[in-house]
Structure 1
Amino acid sequence: MNSTLNDANPDSSTEPVLSVRNLQTVFRTDRELIRAVDGISFDISKGETLGIVGESGSGKSVTARSIMGLVDSPGEILPKSSIKFNGEELTEYTDAEYQQIRGSGIGMVFQDPLKSLNPVYTVGNQIKEALRINRGISGQEATDKAIELLEDVAIPDPARRLKEYPHEFSGGMRQRAVIAMMLACDPDLLICDEPTTALDVTIQAQIIELLQDLQEERDLAILFITHDMGVIAEISDRVNVMYAGEFVEKAPVTELFENPKHPYTEGLLDAIPGTNAEKERLNTIEGDVPTPNEQATYCRFAPRCPKAFEDCEQVHPVHVPISEDGEHSAACLLYPEDRSTEEAVEYHRERGREAEDVPEGDHA
């Protein structure tokens, strides 16, 4: 993995593979408007892995499906949201154009590999079909390439395995087969949505190592989504911590683990087994992630936050730079640290008013 560009610095000389700005994905019901993803922004460049971490219900998977154009009714991506892949605005694509991107430029690996594999076709047939559709390869050439792809993902005896069906593969082997099928499309970006959650620890480590090797060989950009902070530590270059549809902290991975700033991030790290070995019980974050069904005019984490104070229920925090280089930021009224509480709150109020005048910015 490579050290990377700051996702708040889109003016770098290297154009990101993926650039997301002010993404807002909502679900309309008869009773309310659910803001599943509420104004997030980030970039991913070649050869880097951006991790998005948070509890279930934070909006991580909806983010992935939004990028892939897989948000079904009653869901929709609101106007002024921007998703650029290699400079092309995907929110303006037709279904047919999006299908082409999904088949060639962007691959996605789901938590359950059986969602991506058809049980009535052999694994080989499915990889060869992907090669035919996306790269125009057929016949013996496709068979040879499919064997090569299975070798690339470390599946033993690939010529024999090519003829087997998904149910004949173990969970870890199925996930490898899905990755091989995605690689058949020769993508620039791989989106991994909880790809190791259903696997045991040993297989999980193998899949992470495989992704890292493939990334190095192919210069892949990877968006890795998980609730597991341990996995994030292993695979990510940068991390965006997500809560109730928003990013609450952004940082390079080492910086995040060594110097977490948002109370939510601190809570997630405190809940990792082994970090508090002297305690009889793990720390937990009380309560559940709320359903974001109204505009964020306050801190959505405040009801669960041990450091919350009165203004947290009235002022929506904006991202504040923590490090001088701007790589680390947190959306919390406790910052800037060099100001009094009253001054910090006023800083957020002012920045919030400015942000209202620039809707395409990051309201995370």
Structure 2
Amino acid sequence: MSVRGSIANARSVVVKIGSSAITTLEGGLELDRLNALVDACESRMRAGSDVVVVSSGAVGAGLSPLRLRKRPQDLATKQAAASVGQLAMAQAWSTSFARYGRVVGQVLLTADDIARRAQHRNAQRTLERLRALRAVAVVNENDTVATTELRFGDNDRLAALVAHLVGADALVLLSDVAGLYDGDPRRGGARLIPEVAGPEDLDGVVAGSGGALGTGGMASKLSAARLAADSGVPVLLAAAAEADAALADASVGTVFAARPERMSARKFWVRHAADTNGALALDDGAVAAVVGKRRSLLAAGITRIEGRFYGGDVVDLLDNSGAKIARGVVAYDSAELNGMLGRSTSELPPEWRRPVIHADDLVAHR
């Protein structure tokens, strides 16, 4: 099946709505646009698909009520605008889906909720339960409490993480652009790229930053699309104005082919969602075993420990030059590992003979 066919026939779809698709600087939340997007989602659900919405726009929706003329730059004002906008958005999504007799559940997440394994699982269970109860989950970053250190950076990345979190079969990114171009379409002469099958299709592509209302932009959409596709989820990037076609047969925009095998939820969390709490430097033999042969990491191959961490934390793995080559879930505290460095398994006490990082908990960067 083609990439567009797999997206058109996906049973579970995450739909990300960009800020510019439902808000304006002058008028705040645009209900007509939001209703049109809900109509498209409803048509997809009536065709048999589960739909999870990831909605940007909380800050944008709060600007007009607070008489702010532009998107604020300081964190406190952004969070104040988001606190007003999130309420308005929740009501708008709920009212719009109620036209079809559907109940909406709002799910607010911070990066910390995804990075920490326990919160990650709780968010996953909540979203699964909402779907089982036939409610429509509308997800947004919790801008009212997220700090600079905790932010996803943009809701495109959040959408990619949510797509894997709920086991979606496709991710649809809807914004104010018709797809991925090889340059800035506003300047003329740019060519739409209909399909990205691999990194070679992105040679020469120039991606810009966000606009007046959003924190994303083509760069963030491209990054999110590649993140989702790398984990096994095909992606469609299209204009919100073409939502009907995007959600009906995926005949518009740019599609990103997914890797053949879907990454396990745990490995996806290790690679893309978890924070790291330290690092382990490896000798050449250990690098070859971890990266080339996908073997477990043993104490004998570790030359240096960086940082303080505990068993169950995620750490980076470094080669001799200090480059990050992998990351994984470590089985020992940093204090324990200090007494194990460079020692073969046979030289260690029985309680220290399990791998430092098991192959099932290890993800190489290349």
RCO greater where, 1 or 2, for CA within 8 Å and sep 6 or more?
A: 1
Bigger CA radius of gyration = 2
What TM-score do you get using the length of structure 1 for normalisation?
Answer: 0.29
Structure (1 or 2) with the greater helix fraction: 2
What TM-score do you get using the length of structure 2 for normalisation?
Answer: 0.29
